Amino acid sequence: MKIHTSFLLLLVLLSFSGCSEQKKGTYVEALFYKDGNPVIIQIVDGKIGRIKYRAPVSVDPGIYVAPGLFDIQVNGYMGVDFSDQDLTIEQMQEATKALWKEGVTSYLPTLITRDRERLEKSFSILAESLDDPVIGASIPGFHLEGPYISPVQGYRGAHPEKYIRLPDWNEFSAFQEAAHNGIRLITVAPEMEGAIPFIRQCVESGVVVSLGHHNGTPEIIEQAVEAGASLSTHLGNGCANEIDRHHNPLWPQLANDSLSISIISDGSHLTREEVHTFYKVKGADRTILVSDALSFAGLPPGEYEKDGMTYLLTPDVVKFPSENVLAGAAMPISRCVGNIMKFTGCSLREAIRMASTNPARLMGLDNLGEIRPGKRADLVLFTLENGEMVIQTTIVAGKVVYSKN
């Protein structure tokens, strides 16, 4: 039975349920993102089965298959704010379905600095999504960005200063309980009093720790890494506009081989030259693409009011005009994939690694981020048009959740 036969057999999904065991399952045919050769991927019970190369066709189909994109920093999307105290599971489904259209098969809903009561309530609401039958497979956990970050203007970015505080393990444990142990990533400023033992406790509990919105010295950063920190959150952002050219938090994080970095390659948060330089230092294995998308992402450009603050949405970025800083991004991670290829000259294979394989490995999710037998069948089929990904089909756990046609 043909499920989808668009593009003149350029993409074929064939279901053979009821046939022999050898032919059982669903088959996806497209160009492999790793080398551009035609490949047939078998999907059985939501997992990848056999992978077989086929003879090249006379007409280049131009449709690639890759592991689904994994965005570890998403604050909201299409008007849905994950920190909204009235957030519903229906809104979470709406935002997730919009992200599926962008090829995102997994993501970490992200909460930023707020008071304790609000964060606890937000995590209790988000926790409902973990087991939701519609979107639960796409939400492996959450990212807490703050509130234990630098209160200094520039470094704190759009985080409200009045809610920034010192690391508190008891408070974080309460957040984790409200989240049903779903907090998998936390961003911390390592120079804050008590941050180093806090980082160690987080890592021992299984939470990945990232350094961000900070002005840590080389010595402090080294201590944080020794305590278990393994990532730098959106490096080059959450950083003062004017810094000492020698003594600043960028160089020690770039120099430390134990730290991976996440970057926002939207062309606004970082210049082309910054992205290229960071990539040259860290390489494709230690770079992770994130969107840092705010709830305004996907909405018409203009000014928006939220929590008593004014935000300016442009087609590519969200600004916080009152402090002359960027508040977040408006560009989905799929566009960041195309940008990093333009900015660095890296291959499609390397760009996908940074947007899929690396974040899955960072989070310890061995069943995601690669197209290999036994892995969960999270796949995205796409064309490349003017160097940008155009999503055609998104598959989560073997199920087609979005199809352009």
In this structure, are residues 198 and 173 in contact, taking their beta carbons and an 8 Å threshold? no
Q: Would you list the domain boundaries of the chain?
A: 2-66+370-403, 69-362
Packing angle of the helix pair 169-178, 116-126 (nearest 10 deg): 30
Q: Is the pLDDT of residue 270 over 60?
A: yes
Q: Is the pLDDT of residue 233 over 70?
A: yes
Range name among 54-58, 236-240, 290-294, 398-402 with the lowest pLDDT average? 54-58
Range name among 19-33, 94-108, 271-285, 378-392 with the lowest pLDDT average? 19-33
Residue 66 backbone zone (phi > 0: left; psi -120 to 50: alpha; other: beta): beta
Burial category of 326 from C-beta neighbours within 10 Å (exposed 0-12, middle 13-18, buried 19 and up): buried
DSSP 8-state class, residue 321: G
Q: How far apart are CA 85 and CA 121, in angstroms?
A: 7
What distances in angstroms separate CA 35 from CA 31, 255, 340, 369, one per listed residue?
Answer: 8, 31, 18, 17
Fold adopted by 69-362:
TIM Barrel (3.20.20)
Give the tens place of pLDDT for each residue, 253-265.
999 999 999 999 9
Enter the tokens of residue 94.
Answer: 């709406």
pLDDT at residue 61 in the model: 63
Q: Which of 34, 37, 27 is nearest to 61 (CA)?
A: 37
- What is the average pLDDT value for the chain, to the nearest integer? 91
pTM as predicted: 0.93
Give the tens place of pLDDT for each residue, 173-215.
999 999 999 999 999 999 999 999 999 999 999 999 999 999 9
Pick the CATH number of 2-66+370-403 from 2.170.150.20, 3.40.50.300, 2.30.40.10, 3.90.230.10: 2.30.40.10
pLDDT at residue 274 in the model: 97
pLDDT at residue 60 in the model: 58
Q: Which of 316, 265, 274, 267 is nearest to 294 (CA)?
A: 316
